[in-house]
Amino acid sequence: MEKGLVLLSRYRRRYEAESAAGLLRSCGIPAFIFQEDLGGQVPRLEGAMSQYDARLMVPEQYLEEARAILAAEPGCDREPDDGCSGQGGEDG
């Protein structure tokens, strides 16, 4: 049974969330960004109020792996054929 999405982290700026999501996706982890901007009416409030933070969410079954990947930047430890960019955690 597939579990729902859970909050991995919040970012004040959307581009920071996009960067983290890109890293997770390159490691084969589905990542989704949610950010309320009232239909584009308040884009300048990004980072000014916490309710407008970008929320990075992943499926619950990937939560621990996603946390480990973000903690071990710049890359993931999976082999490139497993969906990883091959940047390789601590080995660089």
Structural domains in the chain, sorted by start: 5-91 (3.30.70)
Rounded to whole angstroms, how far apart are CA atoms 27 and 87?
Answer: 10
* E strands, the chain, in order: 5-11, 32-34, 54-59
What's the pLDDT at 39? Answer: 60
Q: Cα angle at 62 between 74 and 38, to 5 degrees?
A: 85
What's the pLDDT at 41? Answer: 62
For residue range 58-82, what is the model confidence (pLDDT) as tens digits?
999 999 999 999 998 654 554 443 4
For residue range 28-50, what is the model confidence (pLDDT) as tens digits?
999 999 987 666 666 555 555 55
pTM equals 0.68
